[in-house]
Amino acid sequence: MNTGTVLDWLGAVALVAGALLSLVAGIGVLRFPDVLDRMHAATKPQVLGVLLLLVGLALRLRTPTDLGMILLVGVFQLATAPVAAQMIGRAAYRSGRVDRDLLDVDELADPGR
C-alpha cells in the first residue's frame, strides 16, 4: 500500500467522522431545551466536525493552493464560532429568552451571591 492510498483512507475516515459530528451537532441544536444549551452544540461538536472535514479534504486534495484555503477556513472557524455563539447567547439572555427553570445558579442576574 503506497502513501497516497493511506492518506486517502485517513482522509475518508476524517470526512466520515466530521460528518457524523456535524450531524450530532444538528441533533443537539434540535433537541436541547434552551438557547444556551443549543449554543454548546453549535460550538464544540460543530467546530470539531468542520475541522475534521477540513483535515479529510486536506488529506485527499494535497495541493498547496487548497491547503492554504483550508488553513484559512479552519482558523476563521475557530475564531468566529465562539464569538457568534456568545452574541446569540447574550442576546437571548438580555431579551429574557433563557429558560430560568433550567438554571441552577445564575450569578449574572444575582451578582450579590
Partner 1 sequence: MTPSPPPGRYGRWRDQAIALGWLIAVWNLLWGEVTWGNLVGGTLVGAAVLLFFPLPPVSFGGRLRPTALLVLAGTFVVELVSASVHVAAIAVRPGFRPRGAIIGVRLRVRSDLNLALTAELLSLVPGTLIVQVDRDAGVLYVHVLDVRVPQDLTGSRDRVLAVEERIVRAIGSDAELRLLSTDPADRRSET
Stretch 44-63: interaction string toward partner 1, x if CB under 8 A: xx-xxx--------------
Part of the chain binding partner 1 (CB under 8 A), chosen from 4-12, 53-61, 99-107 = 99-107
Nearest to 71 by CA among 83, 82, 86, 61: 61
Burial class (CB in 10 A: 0-12, 13-18, 19+), 60: middle
Stretch 65-84: interaction string toward partner 1, x if CB under 8 A: x--xx-xx-----xx-xxx-
Contact pick of 85, 95, 96, 97 for partner 1 (by CB under 8 A): 85
On whether the CB atoms of residues 17 and 53 are closer than 8 A, the answer is no
Q: Which residues of 34-49 are buried (b: 16+ CB within 10 A; e: fewer)?
A: bbbbbbbbbbbbbbbb
Binding site for partner 1 (CB under 8 A): 21, 24-25, 27-28, 31-34, 36-37, 39-41, 43-45, 47-49, 65, 68-69, 71-72, 78-79, 81-83, 85-86, 89-90, 93, 102-109, 111, 113
